[in-house]
Amino acid sequence: MLRHTLGALILCASAVHGQGLQRVLSPNNDLSGLNFSSPTDNNLPRLNFSSPSPLIFHSTFALLQQWPNTFFEYGHTIAPCKVPKGTNLYHASSDGKRPPEPEFLAFDPEMAYWILGTTPDSHMFTYRTRREVQCLYFDGSSASLRRDGSMDSQMAFLYNSTYNIPPKPILELPPEFRNLTGNKTFFNDIALEYTRAEKLCDFIHNHSLGGPGWGYEGVVRMNTGFEMIWCNFSSPSVELVSRLNVSAPRLEEVPSRWTHLGHVPETFVVKGRKKRGKKQIPGLTFDNPFAVNGGVYSWWHAATKRYGFGNGQYGRGETRVRLDSCTLFTLYDPGMQDQESARVMDERKSLNLTKEGYWMAPREDNERDAALKTLSRRRQAQRAHNVSEADGLYMRGAVEQRMRLLLSTEKEQHCSGIDWIEIARDIVSAYSIELYNLLKRLEFFGQLGPEDARLWLSDIRHASHLVFMPFYEYPDITKSTLQEAFAVNASNSQSALHRCKTQYAPFEAEELSDSERLTSHAISDVLSAICTTMLPIFLQTERIWLANFNNFSAPPVVTPAVPLWHELQTATSHNIQAIEELMAWLGWIDQWTACDPGCALGQVCYIPIWPALAMGGILKGGMKGHEDLDEADGSLDRYLWEPTCVDFHHFPPGW
């Protein structure tokens, strides 16, 4: 939604991909007790890294959540949505005129205020929905102008293909601005935003999917918080509840370099948008006491209330927008043949995958760690920029059909009623932290003293038992039958595996929509990977425990001199490898990244979110105590991987 400031344009032009450390997947524990076998000579389940299932799963799980969609800026889901009756939406303007359409409405007033509420003559419009409003949602950071990939899905959707998208318009700057920016070329992303908004609304109207007062009336996207492109203000679906002059008394004697930056000439923003009146302009004026930094912090802070899941725990996503998991469309749909085959081909090379999708891991441990990191983040690099016309028409048809289904009375007949999004969230909640903790516990092996093995294995046993607890019946066992009883192919084992894999399988006769079939398939693949990886770990742990540690009165002493040590060592190095690869395959890195230590009351875990991400940099003085955050470039990306707790102290008012 931020589209009026020079600052924002500088940010999008100068942002670069940064490399950071991901703590989670680079164990810094002492692993000297372990000896990794080579990746090909063990019997780990082979995971298909070309499969779209973990990608579909992650996109589904993350819908409408700020935190994961900040980690994964490039969206892959398009979904019809609804905004409930009685929802407030905000728009600020610098001239007090009712906005022309389409315009951008913020769910958080802080967003609207910061964007255009701080000029000498700013007005805040508050609208409230009079009925449940239907909308179309693009996931990812779909309103972020930081990197082109954020807009891929919208553009391919509008132009039927990647290859029909016209080049971005160039921003024509007056000479004094050209000098100020070193004659750099900027794209007019703001004009492009309006074109995009018009086209998205046109799509709705042209296909008779909505209009003023009925059907689809807007498009929901995210940058720092969520916004809605509202298609037509003459609609009775929203009512203007207030229009207030929110201009505050200006600061006096502000250095001219700041006010100069603020008073952006009309041509700067408006060019390329003929329909709009001349006065609908800028901009950020820095003699407003609330413009920086506290204002930016308020905006960013409002967005963080919609973080959603963190550390595998439920949080509040954008609950003012609701989805129906019967009608999701994913760009990983196999029907997107050219887009999908390009992803598979490109990643085969970049990620060292075989044509079956198996990963050829580097042999050196440190190379392997780095490669695992790349694998686990692979969705971050996946752009929807290989969409052929055939793909585009397929996508358009599918989205239209799904939007229409929700307008019709036939929904019940075509949808199972199962909430697949909640199921995906339950799975993340059930396994993400458990896997992480199990990995950390396994890695502790290298530090065990001779007396510690029993306690340590008991920990591992608890963690692996938990996964199979609802599914596993212990067979009759004696010491001499342990080997067969806990074999992977034993019937109790296989039954448990089946129950684990199918724990959310729909009943056979269940009618699923096309969307549901795909989501359900992705969920089933994700569960298969988790259950298949965990089964041998569980069984082997039970077997070793029962063979050696089950006598409460006689804990064995385990030193490198005894065979049991070797057995534990081999098992543990295999298990670490298996879990690392599983975690990389799942790619839930957003769930395995946290502020460490955790944040105190009143603090929030800071990750850079566009465009509020670098405000502290552009407007000197932000992020006190974090001098390196004063950079309006990729150095901020570090904080995505090493987030840090902040509160209002880090954003002192003014500068």
Ligand X SMILES: *[C@@H]1O[C@H](CO)[C@@H](O)[C@H](O)[C@H]1NC(C)=O
H or E element: which one contains 80? strand 77-83
User: Which of 77, 232, 327, 519 contacts ligand X by CB under 6 A?
Assistant: 232
Strand partners, 218: 135, 230
Q: Where are the alpha helices (DSSP H) in 563-603?
A: 563-586
Say if residue 211 is preceded by a cis peptide, omega within 30 of 0: no
Does residue 357 bind ligand X (CB under 6 A)? yes
Of 145, 134, 106, 133, nearest to 11 (Cα)? Answer: 145
CB-count burial class (<10 Å; 0-12, 13-18, 19+) for 4:
buried
Tell which positions 302-341 bind ligand X, by CB under 6 A: none
Does residue 178 bind ligand X (CB under 6 A)? yes
The stretch near ligand X (CB under 6 A) out of 48-56, 110-118, 126-134, 530-538 is: 48-56
| Least Å from the CB of residue 195 to ligand X | 11
| Least Å from the CB of residue 348 to ligand X | 10
Which single residue is written with the structure tokens 């029962």?
546
| Least Å from the CB of residue 394 to ligand X | 11
Site string for ligand X, 24-43 (x = CB under 6 A): -----------x--------
Task: Write the CA distances from 419 to 310, 326, 411, integer angstroms.
Answer: 21, 8, 14
User: Which of 101, 148, 631, 647 contacts ligand X by CB under 6 A?
Assistant: 101
* Rounded Cα–Cα distance for residues 654 and 631 (Å): 18
Cα 205 to its chain centre, rounded Å, is 30
User: Which of 254, 370, 482, 547 contacts ligand X by CB under 6 A?
Assistant: 370
Residue 38 vs 409, nearer CB to ligand X? 38
Does residue 176 bind ligand X (CB under 6 A)? yes
H or E element: which one contains 519? helix 514-548
| Least Å from the CB of residue 352 to ligand X | 4
| Least Å from the CB of residue 390 to ligand X | 11
Instruction: Strands of 352-465 (E only): list them.
Output: none
Residue 87 vs 119, nearer CB to ligand X? 119
Residue 19 vs 234, nearer CB to ligand X? 234
| Least Å from the CB of residue 181 to ligand X | 8
User: Which of 487, 505, 547, 645 contacts ligand X by CB under 6 A?
Assistant: 487
Strand partners, 270: none
Both tokens assigned to 249: 């008394």
Does residue 183 bind ligand X (CB under 6 A)? yes
Secondary structure (H, E, C), 282-333: CCCCCCCCCCCCHHHHHHHHHHHCCCCCECCECCCCCCCCEECCCCCEECCC
* Rounded Cα–Cα distance for residues 573 and 105 (Å): 53
Q: Are 200 and 219 in contact (CB under 8 A)?
A: yes
User: Which of 554, 560, 563, 627 contacts ligand X by CB under 6 A?
Assistant: 554
3-state helix, strand, coil in the chain (%, to 5): 45, 10, 45
Per-residue burial over 181-202, b if 16 or more Cβ lie within 10 Å, else e, is eeeeebbbbbbbbbbbbbbbbe
| Least Å from the CB of residue 479 to ligand X | 9
Strand partners, 129: 238
Does residue 212 bind ligand X (CB under 6 A)? yes
Instruction: Strands of 206-361 (E only): list them.
Output: 210-211, 214-223, 225-230, 238-245, 322-323, 329-330
Residue 101 vs 642, nearer CB to ligand X? 101
* Rounded Cα–Cα distance for residues 412 and 409 (Å): 7
| Least Å from the CB of residue 105 to ligand X | 15
* Rounded Cα–Cα distance for residues 408 and 278 (Å): 41
Coil, helix or strand for 571? helix
| Least Å from the CB of residue 95 to ligand X | 8
What residue type is 101 in one-letter code?
E
Residue 276 vs 624, nearer CB to ligand X? 276
| Least Å from the CB of residue 476 to ligand X | 14
Does residue 551 bind ligand X (CB under 6 A)? yes
Does residue 234 bind ligand X (CB under 6 A)? yes
Angle, CA 97 vertex, CA 283 and CA 107 arms, to 5°: 70
Does residue 374 bind ligand X (CB under 6 A)? yes
User: Which of 19, 206, 366, 408 contacts ligand X by CB under 6 A?
Assistant: 206
* Rounded Cα–Cα distance for residues 111 and 224 (Å): 8
| Least Å from the CB of residue 96 to ligand X | 5
| Least Å from the CB of residue 100 to ligand X | 8
Residue 67 vs 329, nearer CB to ligand X? 329
| Least Å from the CB of residue 34 to ligand X | 9
The stretch near ligand X (CB under 6 A) out of 44-52, 295-303, 400-408, 453-461 is: 44-52
User: Which of 96, 99, 335, 654 contacts ligand X by CB under 6 A?
Assistant: 96
| Least Å from the CB of residue 594 to ligand X | 24
User: Which of 164, 208, 242, 481 contacts ligand X by CB under 6 A?
Assistant: 164
Tell which positions 337-356 bind ligand X, by CB under 6 A: 342, 344-346, 351-352, 356
How many residues bind ligand X (CB under 6 A)? The answer is 50
Does residue 385 bind ligand X (CB under 6 A)? yes
Which single residue is written with the structure tokens 């318009």?
169
Residue 49 vs 592, nearer CB to ligand X? 49
Residue 409 vs 478, nearer CB to ligand X? 478
Does residue 553 bind ligand X (CB under 6 A)? yes
Of 601, 602, 608, nearest to 630 (Cα)? Answer: 608
Strand partners, 125: 91, 243
Cα 602 to its chain centre, rounded Å, is 24
The stretch near ligand X (CB under 6 A) out of 175-183, 236-244, 585-593, 638-646 is: 175-183
* Rounded Cα–Cα distance for residues 380 and 640 (Å): 12
| Least Å from the CB of residue 540 to ligand X | 15
What is the Cα Rg of the chain in Å?
A: 27
Applying CB under 6 A, which residues contact ligand X? 35, 48, 50-52, 96, 101, 120-121, 159-160, 164, 175-176, 178-179, 182-183, 199, 202-203, 206, 212, 232, 234, 245, 247, 342, 344-346, 351-352, 356-357, 362, 367, 370-371, 374-375, 385-386, 393, 487, 489-490, 551, 553-554
